[in-house]
């Protein structure tokens, strides 16, 4: 039985997509027969932790000191070393945090391969954020972590390219994230959302659902909406998701400055049935990101049968050929043109597009398929079998 230890700084719900994708991956691998463990740190102020059935989760407590110093914790490192004492491979997710250093150290202590998933953190936009902190981390440990990797896992070809541009020559497995395919017959109805936000009643929904972070292009979306909302009086913009620091307040100020309070609803983070109700009843989904290694929110929208407008800074180029959405340049003009075209379509046409997107997710992005690919990749790294077709490089 293959024994895999996954490492991620946090799986608390408000930390973003990797908290979901990593726990789902570990659970899917365990379902297929691997012995999976997952080490993480507790950040209780960032929501409840994601679950992972059949996976042994060790969550080390963090002090205020540890949280301020990017997860620095000798106790956490000790917990990870203990968990990793009997594994065949360590799979680290994310960069720039001390837990990522501990993953490398755990692999070295055990003498096993280290797989690294950057999770978008080597994209050029991400590297420009908090640049001086990342330079310190690069010199202190991150360059050594990346050099030690036996293999990189990229969720899209664009992420693999970013790895290569930094000079790393190890093999790269290009395997996307998976997505849960919901039973739409059991999905919650519109009324669940409308009861909480009555202004949404009788409107068509333009939904943004992701972290409220500058990389997501929400400011551009609001500026576009300020130009379009009079033309589309039957539509309402929903901005759903947890805020990155005070950024959510800045966005609300922008909405007020554009006199859009009656046409935009900030829901905060939606969980469980509320999240499903938003996705299942949206007419159109928009993710105008400036950078995405995968864009899990796009996959989730398609899984619920909702067509998508997103930018060329996300890896979803197949949207156009599959006729399930719009893949546009990363600027407000292109975004406005796409939204105008999309919101001008009849509901039935949008629904047909969403159905094609859902069929695509079912065929290519089920968690079972993604987990099988990564397990095959792990076995190849450990010396078994032929190189998988999705692995590139020496």
Render pLDDT for 238-279 as a digit per residue (tens, 0 to 9).
999 999 889 999 999 999 999 999 999 999 999 889 999 999
Contact at 8 Å (CB) between 242 and 233?
no
Kindly state whether residues 375 and 280 are assigned to the same domain: no
Report the pLDDT value the prediction gives residue 380, as an integer from 0 to 100.
97
Instruction: Report residues of the chain scoring pLDDT below 50.
Output: none
The helix or strand, by DSSP H or E, that contains position 362, with its residue range, turns out to be: helix 347-364
Structural domain for 45, as ranges = 3-178+366-392
Kindly state whether residues 242 and 349 are assigned to the same domain: yes
pLDDT in tens, 94-148: 999 999 999 999 999 999 999 999 998 888 777 887 888 888 888 889 999 999 9
pLDDT in tens, 15-30: 878 999 999 999 999 9
Listed in sequence order, the residues at least 6 apart from 255 whose beta carbon sits closer than 8 Å to its beta carbon are 222, 261, 264, 266
pTM reported for the whole predicted model: 0.83
Nearest to 92 by CA among 76, 109, 74, 115: 115
Structure tokens belonging to residue 136? 């310190």
Report the pLDDT value the prediction gives residue 378, as an integer from 0 to 100.
98
Report the pLDDT value the prediction gives residue 258, as an integer from 0 to 100.
97
The helix or strand, by DSSP H or E, that contains position 145, with its residue range, turns out to be: helix 143-148
Residues 117 and 163: their CA atoms lie apart, in Å, by: 10
CATH at 280 = 3.40.50.2000
Kindly state whether residues 268 and 320 are assigned to the same domain: yes
Residues 256 and 261: their CA atoms lie apart, in Å, by: 6
Report the pLDDT value the prediction gives residue 293, as an integer from 0 to 100.
83
Structure tokens belonging to residue 336? 């406005």
Kindly state whether residues 113 and 226 are assigned to the same domain: no
Kindly state whether residues 98 and 155 are assigned to the same domain: yes
Residues 228 and 344: their CA atoms lie apart, in Å, by: 11
Q: Report how many domains make up the chain.
A: 2
Report the pLDDT value the prediction gives residue 208, as an integer from 0 to 100.
98
């Amino acid at each position: 039985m293959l024994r895999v230890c996954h490492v991620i700084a946090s799986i608390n719900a408000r930390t973003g997509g990797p908290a979901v994708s990593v726990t789902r991956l570990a659970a899917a691998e365990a379902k297929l027969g691997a012995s999976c463990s997952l080490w993480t740190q507790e950040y209780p102020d960032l929501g409840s932790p994601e679950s992972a059935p059949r996976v042994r989760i060790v969550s080390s407590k963090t002090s205020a000191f540890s949280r301020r110093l990017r997860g620095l914790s000798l106790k956490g490192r000790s917990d990870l070393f203990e968990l990793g004492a009997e594994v065949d491979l360590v799979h680290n997710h994310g960069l720039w945090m001390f837990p990522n250093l501990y993953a490398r150290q755990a692999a070295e202590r055990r003498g096993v391969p280290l797989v690294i998933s950057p999770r978008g953190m080597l994209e050029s936009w991400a590297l420009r954020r908090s640049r001086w902190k990342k330079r310190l981390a690069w010199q202190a440990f991150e360059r050594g972590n990346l050099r030690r990797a036996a293999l990189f896992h990229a969720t899209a070809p664009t992420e693999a390219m970013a790895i290569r541009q930094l000079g790393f020559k190890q093999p790269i497995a290009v395997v996307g994230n998976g997505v849960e395919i919901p039973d739409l017959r059991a999905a919650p109805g519109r009324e669940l959302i409308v009861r909480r936000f009555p202004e949404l009643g009788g409107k068509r929904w333009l939904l943004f659902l992701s972290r409220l972070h500058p990389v997501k292009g929400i400011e551009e979306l609001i500026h576009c909406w300020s130009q379009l909302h009079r033309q589309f009086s039957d539509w309402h913009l929903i901005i759903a998701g947890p805020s990155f620091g005070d950024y959510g307040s800045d966005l609300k100020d922008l909405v007020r400055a554009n006199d859009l309070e009656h046409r935009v609803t900030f829901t905060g983070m939606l969980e469980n049935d509320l999240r499903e109700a938003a996705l299942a009843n949206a007419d159109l989904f928009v993710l105008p990101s400036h950078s995405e290694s995968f864009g899990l929110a796009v996959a989730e929208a398609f899984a619920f049968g909702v067509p998508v407008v997103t930018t060329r800074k996300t890896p979803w180029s197949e949207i156009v050929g599959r006729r399930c959405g719009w893949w546009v340049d990363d600027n407000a003009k292109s975004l406005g043109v796409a939204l105008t075209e999309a919101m001008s379509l009849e509901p039935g046409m949008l629904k047909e597009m969403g159905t094609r997107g859902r069929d695509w997710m079912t065929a290519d992005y089920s968690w079972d398929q993604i987990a099988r690919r990564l397990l095959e990749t792990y076995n190849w790294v450990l010396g078994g079998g032929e190189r998988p077709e999705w692995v590139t490089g020496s």
